[in-house]
Structure 1
Amino acid sequence: MGDEGYYPHESSSVFNDLRLQGGFCDATIKVQDVSFQVHRVILATYSPYFLNVFRCASPQDKVFDTPGLSPDMMQLIIEFVYTGSVSVREENVRELLLAADHLQVADVVQTCSDFLVEHLRPRNCVGLFQFPNICFSSSLQHKAYRYIIDHFEEVALCEEFLQLSVHELTAILDSDDLNVNKESIAYEAVLRWIANGPEERKAHIAVLLSKVRLGLMSLDYLMTKVIQNELVINSLECMPMVVKTAETMSSITTSRTSGSHLSILASRPRLPYAVMLAIGGWSGGDPTNSIEAYDIRADNWTNVTIAQERPRAYHGVAFLDGSVYCVGGSDRAEQFSSVRRLDLRTHVWHEVAPMFSCRCYVSVTVLDGYIYAMGGYDGYTRLCTAERYRPETNQWSLIAPMQEHRSDASSTTLRDMVYICGGFNGIECLQTCECYSPRTNQWTTISPMSCPRSGIGIIAYADRVYAVGGFDGSRRLSTAEFYNPCTNTWLRVRSMITPRSNFGIAVLDNQLFVVGGFNGFTTSCNVEHYDVATDAWAAARNMNIFRSALSCCVACPLPNVDKYVVSRDALLPLYLDDVCVESGDSD
């Protein structure tokens, strides 16, 4: 039905037939020059507004004028009262919400609010955030505000963004969980907002700039883009603020002195929109149940382990609908068919339906609401079978088997296809790759990688399939390459800093991360990330424990993200002493 919604509830059609025929009607609702015959008891049941009107009326009153509404909206609401359904469309939803709120028809208010939430977009979220100022709907206002915070980079480029009041924009910029990849985005949004009405708005530069976290920018950006801006130069309050921040950052960079002279707000890292979870693996010669959460905004790992959970390694993990699923694996003694679900809101593990097969060294990915588990080792043989799980029914179903037997492979999804690459077939490490189409339930061989890779990392990134690291049968690899589905070809990219196999891999904030693994000599806690724009790898903060055979996934959005990252108040003293130019904006 496109952007139109019909929302029925139980109601008798008999009363509606009587209304349409004029039978037993005892009141007329008049809106402008249009009259609607109704039954008082029916209308009063759904509208406290009309209940009060009818109570206060004398027995002789038959016609009731209802100002402030259009006849079209009154007709929709009366039809809802009698039929239990209402047609909500983008072109009528706001007017209908105002009318329903005025007449206190709660079900229609809720229906309209739900419709607006479902249709939140960068281009309309500011208007919907401001809309409840006219029509009270705290839930709609909160969700629109959350949308602005979570999608700020896109929202700041839309026309509606310019309609924010200075108080609204100040509150948004002040939020710890404002989702900006770089702090320069917040600063440039301020400039764009002021430019829409410079004569009136330039006076607000100081209060707005005080909410931008200048200490999170690079010194170069601060010196070239901020300190030389005309609005900053002409502000008696801004210039000292920016100069003091620049001087402190310069001192930290050149002499490694304490960063405590930076103001708390100027350098307080914002909360991340998404966190990367590193789950399980081998550590110290034994499987572990350790879970660490990586906060990219603070470059920090937080231990979020649940002590009662069973250790496992060589498993797969997937994030879906607010939960993390841990699939298969081994605890050394046995291979698992079991699947566990971690509810990130409650931080509690639950058992869900097991797979058809035990699968250690399994490859796991998500596509269209299904979790796919492919290949692996069942304790006797390397598998070519594959299956998928639907959370709504808590059931696994078999899909077509792969063309190769693969354990220790890796998989990802791109453009409605599942890709699996490399692995070990029981005899040799593989360089072969194949892809699966859910539409046809068929596997198709694609071009092989440049070399065999077992214990590989496969991930969709920058609209390509990246293959990273692994074991070629004689050594651990640092090399990386990507597959272009349009040309069916692989192309080498810059190698990792550290060779590794059996590591975690994920994409976070448009960076490809590799986590832990085995480097050929020892289990690692090392973490690095790759930027496709620069074709370069850089080190990130190490995990707190050494481990290989772990699995990683990215969880977002998290309404309780503060439970998975270090407190900003606790982090600040450490962060201030570690501020340097490399950690800020580079543009």
Structure 2
Amino acid sequence: MSESSSVYDDLRLEKELCDAVIRVDNVEFHTHKIILCNCSPYFRALFTNWSTPNCQVFDIPNVSPDIMKLIIEFAYTGFVPVTKNNVQELFIAVDRLNVMGIIQACSQFLEKQMSPENCIGIWWFADAYYHPELIHKALLFTLSNFEKVAATSEEFLSLSAQKLVQIIESDQLNVKQEKTVYEAILRWIDFAPEDRRKYIALLLFKVRLALMVPEYVIDNVTHNEVVKACAECQMILVKTLEAMNDLRKNWFSESIICNFLTRPRLPTAILFAVGGWSEGSPTNTIEAYDVRADRWVNVINTDKTPRAYQGVAFLNGSVYCVGGFDGVVQFSTVHRFNLDAHTWQEVASMHSRRCYVSVTVMDGHIYAIGGYDGHNRLATAERYQPTTNQWTLIASMQDQRSDASCTTLHGKVYICGGFNGSECLSTAECYNPETNQWTLIADMDSRRSGIGVIAYADRVFAVGGFDGTARLHTAEAYNPQTNTWNAVPSMLHHRSNFGIALIDDCLFVAGGFNGITTTLDVECYDAETSEWSGPRNMAISRSALSCCTVYGLNNMADYAAPRYSQQFSGEEEDEVE
């Protein structure tokens, strides 16, 4: 609170120089007109247009004394205590009185409180009082967390058909499997079957049925009693079978993405594969993987500097490219790619040149660890604070290591493997930022240089690499609670110097060197099934690339496979009540 605000509030509390009395249910608040005018255009109109100049007492209806007290205190101090108990009543009152500062405070409070259980209620509430920003955020939260919302929210069962259509027709609906949408529709209908069965065709038309497993459609959709009783649904199923056949022949053709039954939904996160070594030289290529469409998209890159053996990190809506090698020079430079603006900017350079560097993010900092400066393998480490644009040296590791890989888990940085200049390493160590100390942990079962390391399923995974003799396809996982490594299923392909990242609750690896040539192979590991599978490969073969996952973007569609908004049918849709 500023000094002048404090003076004004003291005058109010002492009833000094007050020229207005706000009366609510016979409770009087002595105030200054000019202070309330500054707080809200409602009060300015009340004092200047809706009353005579001599009027001093103003009755405000439909507001409780407790809420008016908070509004007046906010006008003088700029602070309002928003709580679960008062937010709804306060929001309704300030919406009518047009106190924008409190409206913003209430909206921010509701946004922080949002959960799968209450997001639909907040959506309804914001819609009733028409606050577009909060409406958008509540709807986006619902779309992003649809699986939990549909499974746990009682509010979901009370949605109108119109609102349910708005949700399930959106390309931004986040579901790993389209059957989740269909089963949510059935749950909604079963809540009031007599009233809701009539909507089955309208809702079924919004499900991307052709993206389901054919056996599931046959067993669970075509044989459903509500679906069987609807002639329009039978037509939709015929079109679904046609679309499935089209999918097998022409995956991701224009006809597929124009067809509502087959168009993939937008992902909530995108995997970036940056730079690397391709066809005998470094490249500046960036490819983005759309997990919903299972397709790689080339990202237009205005940074013409090719580089390999760099680290990349996603932080605060930007991708940072750290260090690396262009075939001649080892870099200390760092470049930031603004994903909203599609622009590159050079930020502060590191203290050391670092290629074969290990990079990770923790607590809003980027860590750059070890590497090779053109002369020596490094034990040094440093971290970057984006708000100050500064790199700060932290404690050095126990071992020199380049070609290692690092990750963060439970507030600590883990780095594993690498090359010390004479041998490939099986050692691993952990950094505690609270003590600024590195501690050696149990050795891995294999020596691994050119390794991929990532925190997944509450463990530290160490994948692939080079043991000094051969490229590896084996993987192992570290349990910090027991300080032990255990074998996990091996990859489908041997590789070192590849990209690694998490997306859609799966571990992805991309590219690398298989001992003979660079590769464009991509595979992913699902901890729930303990299986590796092969999604679509990258467009170009490369090793020494680096991967990261970007999320929370307002312009996610810019980096996803292109979608079109046309419906697959020109038929008129049913009216929604």
Provide TM-score, normalisation by structure 1. Answer: 0.91
Superposed displacement of residue 53, structure 1:
2.3
Sort the Cα spacing of 1:281 and 1:504 in 2 relative to 1 into closer, same or farther, 3 A: same
CA distance in 2, matches of 1:437, 1:280: 30
Correspondence for 1:584: none
Correspondence for 1:69: 63
Superposed displacement of residue 260, structure 1:
6.2
Deviations 1:70-124 (A, max 9, x none): 1111111111112222222222122112111111112222222222223322222
Correspondence for 2:169: 174
Correspondence for 1:79: 73
SS in structure 1 at match of 2:122: helix
* Structure 1: tracts of 5 or more residues without a match: 1-7, 574-587
Correspondence for 2:371: 376
SS in structure 2 at match of 1:168: helix
CA distance in 2, matches of 1:133, 1:369: 34
SS in structure 2 at match of 1:267: coil
Mean Cα displacement is larger for which, 365-374 or 147-156? 147-156
Correspondence for 1:91: 85
SS in structure 1 at match of 2:45: helix
CA distance in 2, matches of 1:304, 1:507: 19
Sort the Cα spacing of 1:259 and 1:395 in 2 relative to 1 into closer, same or farther, 3 A: closer
CA distance in 1, matches of 2:88, 2:287: 44
SS in structure 2 at match of 1:397: strand
Does the alignment pair 1:29 with 2:22?
A: yes
Deviations 1:378-398 (A, max 9, x none): 111111111111111111111
Match among 173, 180, 184 for residue 179 of structure 2:
184
Note the 1:96-111 alignment, pairs <5 A.
96-111=90-105
Contact 1:222 1:246 in 2 (8 A): no
CA distance in 2, matches of 1:259, 1:215: 15
Sort the Cα spacing of 1:239 and 1:446 in 2 relative to 1 into closer, same or farther, 3 A: same
Mean Cα displacement is larger for which, 186-195 or 311-320? 186-195
Q: Quick one: which amino acid aligns to residue 140 of structure 1?
A: L
Q: Quick one: which amino acid aligns to residue 249 of structure 1?
A: M
Contact 1:11 1:84 in 2 (8 A): no
Correspondence for 2:466: 471
Mean Cα displacement is larger for which, 96-105 or 120-129? 120-129
Contact 1:176 1:270 in 2 (8 A): yes
Does the alignment pair 1:298 with 2:293?
A: yes
Mean Cα displacement is larger for which, 385-394 or 8-17? 8-17
Correspondence for 2:209: 214
CA distance in 2, matches of 1:40, 1:53: 10
Note the 1:338-353 alignment, pairs <5 A.
338-353=333-348
SS in structure 2 at match of 1:53: helix
Correspondence for 1:581: none
Deviations 1:3-24 (A, max 9, x none): xxxxx57853333223223333
Match among 117, 142, 146 for residue 148 of structure 1:
142
Superposed displacement of residue 205, structure 1:
1.8
Superposed displacement of residue 263, structure 1:
7.9
CA distance in 1, matches of 2:566, 2:306: 29
Correspondence for 1:224: 219
SS in structure 2 at match of 1:87: coil
SS in structure 2 at match of 1:16: helix
CA distance in 2, matches of 1:536, 1:56: 72
Correspondence for 1:113: 107
Q: Quick one: which amino acid aligns to residue 541 of structure 1?
A: R
Contact 1:316 1:363 in 2 (8 A): yes
Does the alignment pair 1:124 with 2:118?
A: yes
SS in structure 2 at match of 1:529: strand
Match among 417, 424, 447 for residue 422 of structure 1:
417
Does the alignment pair 1:47 with 2:40?
A: yes
Superposed displacement of residue 182, structure 1:
1.2
Does the alignment pair 1:522 with 2:501?
A: no
Does the alignment pair 1:38 with 2:6?
A: no
SS in structure 1 at match of 2:319: strand
CA RMSD in angstroms comes to: 2.4
Superposed displacement of residue 51, structure 1:
2.2
Match among 42, 50, 53 for residue 56 of structure 1:
50
Mean Cα displacement is larger for which, 515-524 or 58-67? 58-67
Correspondence for 2:381: 386
- 1 or 2 for the larger relative contact order (CA 8 Å, sep ≥6)? 1
CA distance in 1, matches of 2:510, 2:98: 55
Contact 1:309 1:349 in 2 (8 A): no
Superposed displacement of residue 274, structure 1:
0.5
CA distance in 1, matches of 2:218, 2:258: 18
Superposed displacement of residue 250, structure 1:
6.3
CA distance in 2, matches of 1:74, 1:535: 59
Contact 1:248 1:262 in 2 (8 A): no
How many residue pairs get matched?
565
Q: Percent identity?
A: 56
Deviations 1:482-507 (A, max 9, x none): 11222222222222111111000111
Mean Cα displacement is larger for which, 291-300 or 16-25? 16-25
Does the alignment pair 1:535 with 2:530?
A: yes
Contact 1:27 1:64 in 2 (8 A): yes
Superposed displacement of residue 433, structure 1:
1.1
CA distance in 2, matches of 1:166, 1:67: 36
Contact 2:308 2:325 in 1 (8 A): yes
Does the alignment pair 1:18 with 2:11?
A: yes
CA distance in 1, matches of 2:301, 2:260: 33
Sort the Cα spacing of 1:229 and 1:527 in 2 relative to 1 into closer, same or farther, 3 A: same
Superposed displacement of residue 138, structure 1:
1.4
Correspondence for 1:403: 398
Match among 422, 427, 436 for residue 431 of structure 2:
436
Contact 2:272 2:289 in 1 (8 A): yes
Match among 499, 502, 509 for residue 507 of structure 1:
502
Does the alignment pair 1:490 with 2:494?
A: no
Q: Quick one: which amino acid aligns to residue 334 of structure 1?
A: V
SS in structure 2 at match of 1:540: coil
SS in structure 2 at match of 1:569: coil
Contact 1:364 1:410 in 2 (8 A): yes
Contact 1:414 1:460 in 2 (8 A): yes
CA distance in 2, matches of 1:248, 1:563: 26
Contact 1:429 1:454 in 2 (8 A): yes
Provide TM-score, normalisation by structure 2. Answer: 0.93
Deviations 1:392-434 (A, max 9, x none): 1111111111111111011111111111111111111111111
SS in structure 1 at match of 2:351: coil
Contact 2:91 2:106 in 1 (8 A): yes
Contact 2:95 2:103 in 1 (8 A): yes
Correspondence for 2:573: none
Superposed displacement of residue 62, structure 1:
3.6
Note the 1:275-314 alignment, pairs <5 A.
275-314=270-309
Deviations 1:427-455 (A, max 9, x none): 11111111111122221222211211110
Deviations 1:137-187 (A, max 9, x none): 211111111111222222222222223221111011111111111111111
CA distance in 2, matches of 1:22, 1:540: 72
Sort the Cα spacing of 1:253 and 1:311 in 2 relative to 1 into closer, same or farther, 3 A: closer
Contact 1:11 1:82 in 2 (8 A): no
Q: Quick one: which amino acid aligns to residue 226 of structure 2?
A: L
Contact 2:119 2:141 in 1 (8 A): yes
SS in structure 2 at match of 1:388: strand
Sort the Cα spacing of 1:11 and 1:199 in 2 relative to 1 into closer, same or farther, 3 A: farther
SS in structure 2 at match of 1:171: helix
Match among 134, 138, 147 for residue 132 of structure 2:
138
Deviations 1:362-385 (A, max 9, x none): 111111111111111111111111
Sort the Cα spacing of 1:266 and 1:9 in 2 relative to 1 into closer, same or farther, 3 A: farther
Sort the Cα spacing of 1:105 and 1:569 in 2 relative to 1 into closer, same or farther, 3 A: closer
Correspondence for 1:552: 547
Does the alignment pair 1:336 with 2:331?
A: yes
